[in-house]
Amino acid sequence: MWGIIATWRMAHDGIVAAKEMLTKKATAGDALETTIKTVENYPFYKSVGYGGLPNEQGILEMDAAFMDGDTYKIGAVAGIVDVANPISVARKLSEEKFNSFRIGQGATEYAMLNGFEIKNMLTPRARKIWEKRVEEIAKSNLSPYDGHDTVGVVALDEHNSMAAGTSSSGLFMKKRGRVGDSPLSGSGFYVDSEIGGAAATGLGEDLMKGCLSYEIVRLMKEGMSPQAACDYAVYEFSDRLTKRYGKAGAFSLVALDKKGRWGVATNVEFTFSVATKDEEPAIYIANPGPNQTTVIEPITQEWLDAYEKRIKAPV
Ligand code: GLY
């Protein structure tokens, strides 16, 4: 069996590419890296890689992580700048015994020293959106925080190996040095090839309060299906956080187990893409349903057309 699941519609082209690889017996790590790089390279996605929206000072700081489910090797970067593919740097770092999670200048230097592509990641379009937002905030005292749609992926290959990974430019207008859940093991991602894996998108500050990716893997270990584990972890925690902290930010998680079964849960409208040996790559839309369940439906052409228009709308 093979399978791959990823957060958001933006991951779909990468999932289609990964399917071709996984059917030819590529590793989960290679399929995952291809999926995330496809998102990182596309200039119209505002929350990942090239075209991502910058921090308060107009600097695009990116976070990414890679985890190998066979060995538990993890590599991560936070606040990396001017590097084309943070996921590839994170994957390379996962091979290091020490110093495998690098931040800021240390992360960028590691990428340069190891021959990764150095690139100005702030597109003119992203800069324009930032300038407009700075102006709006100055005029209307708006809250600076906006979108934060991480690409999070879990992959299983024909060799029964699994990998998980994330890449994100984090919150638009974040403070310099702010790091979300995406590079944090257990919060943004977690995978164990003998159980399954999970990955997250949403408000990092709240996701890290619940370590939801690890929690989902733990629940799958106890025998829950990926869907039951996602439903329980997300809705129970969303309710608990609301009760204890006063509110819960938006968050959504995807999971895949070692048999290629998948699950999703979310406290807001959420799209994702999935493919397995038995299922062609497809985009779905998920919403919180009644009694701590998730309603999952195929995406409509109307939704896709509106999305295409929205991401390419003139600034
Ligand atoms: N989930 C991405 C972030 O909060 O940075």
- In angstroms, rounded to a whole number, what is the distance separating the alpha carbons of residues 93 and 111? 9
Q: Which tens digits make up the pLDDT trace of 47-62?
A: 999 999 999 999 999 9
pLDDT category of residue 141 using cuts at 50, 70 and 90: confident
Atom of ligand 1 nearest to the CA of 47: 2
* Ligand 1: centre distance to CA 212 (Å): 13
Sheet harboring 262-266: ordered strands across?
A: 189-192, 196-202, 251-257, 262-266
Q: Which two tokens stand for residue 93?
A: 């770092």
Q: Which of 257, 252, 300, 299 is nearest to 276 (CA)?
A: 257
Atom of ligand 1 nearest to the CA of 169: 5
| Whole-number pLDDT of residue 144 | 67
pLDDT at 311 over 70: yes
Write the single-letter amino acid at 297.
E
Which residues in 118-232 belong to E strands, given as ranges? 151-156, 162-168, 189-192, 196-202
- Which residues span the domain enclosing 231? 3-312
| Whole-number pLDDT of residue 109 | 98
Burial label, 132 (beta-carbon count in 10 A; 0-12, 13-18, 19+): exposed
Q: How many CA atoms lie within 13 A of 206 on its CB side?
A: 23
71 catalytic residue (yes or no): no
Residue 152 beta carbon below 6 angstroms from any ligand 1 atom: no
| Whole-number pLDDT of residue 142 | 76
Give, in order, the Cα–Cα distances in Å from 131 to each of 80, 121, 124, 148, 173: 21, 16, 10, 18, 11
Atom of ligand 1 nearest to the CA of 179: 5
> What DSSP letter does each residue of 158-173 carry, written as one string?
TTS-EEEEEEE--STT
Give just the sign of the alpha carbon dihedral 308, 310, 314, 315. negative
Residue 149 beta carbon below 6 angstroms from any ligand 1 atom: no
Give the relative orientation of helices 28-41 and 86-93 as an angle to the nearest 10 degrees: 150
Q: Is 204 annotated as a binding residue?
A: yes
Q: Domain holding 182: CATH number?
A: 3.60.20.30
Which residues in the chain belong to E strands, given as ranges? 3-7, 62-68, 74-80, 101-103, 151-156, 162-168, 189-192, 196-202, 251-257, 262-266, 270-276, 279-288, 294-298
Q: Which tens digits make up the pLDDT trace of 71-104?
A: 999 999 999 999 999 999 999 999 999 999 999 9
User: Number of structural domains, the chain?
Assistant: 1
pLDDT at 8 over 70: yes
Note whether 13 and 275 are within 8 A (CB).
Answer: no
Q: Please, which contacts does 209-212 make with residues 24 or more away whose CB atoms are closer than 8 Å?
A: 209/241, 209/245, 210/237, 210/241, 211/186, 211/187, 212/187, 212/237, 212/251, 212/253
Q: Which two tokens stand for residue 274?
A: 């999935």
Average pLDDT, the chain: 96
Burial label, 120 (beta-carbon count in 10 A; 0-12, 13-18, 19+): exposed
Q: Is 51 annotated as a binding residue?
A: no
- In angstroms, rounded to a whole number, what is the distance separating the alpha carbons of residues 236 and 267? 11
Stretch 163-187: mean pLDDT: 97
Instruction: Map residue 89 onto helix, strand or coil.
Output: helix
Question: Where do we find the tokens 């062609």?
Answer: 280
